[in-house]
């Protein structure tokens, strides 16, 4: 999976530090990106998933589309 981490997310030397989050082989981000998604109620979008009906994220998306 290390080869799937984008160049701009790799450290200058050594290996990327965990956690590096993937959905299948698609790189989704690191802990900082996940934390930002959580703070913005966008975890499902961050993970590349559809938010279930009734979740805060689905409510936010519905308000943005209206």
CATH class of 19-65: alpha beta
Residues 4-40 pLDDT 10s:
777 777 777 777 677 888 988 888 998 999 999 999 9
Residues 6 or more apart whose Cβ sits within 8 Å of residue 24: none
Q: Quick one: pLDDT band at residue 49, thresholds 50, 70, 90?
A: very high
Residue 43 predicted with pLDDT over 80: yes
Domain boundaries, the chain: 19-65
Q: What is the pTM of this model?
A: 0.70
The pLDDT value recorded for residue 1 is 65
H helices within 1-66, ranges in order?
31-39, 43-47, 56-65
Map residue 14 onto helix, strand or coil.
coil
- Is the CB of residue 9 less than 8 Å from the CB of residue 26? no
């Amino acid at each position: 999976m290390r080869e799937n981490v984008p160049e701009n997310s790799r450290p200058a030397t050594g290996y990327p530090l965990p956690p590096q989050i993937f959905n299948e082989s698609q790189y989704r981000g690191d802990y900082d990106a996940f934390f930002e998604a959580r703070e913005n109620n966008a975890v499902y979008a961050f993970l590349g998933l559809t938010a279930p009906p009734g979740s805060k994220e689905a409510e936010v998306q519905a308000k943005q589309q209206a």
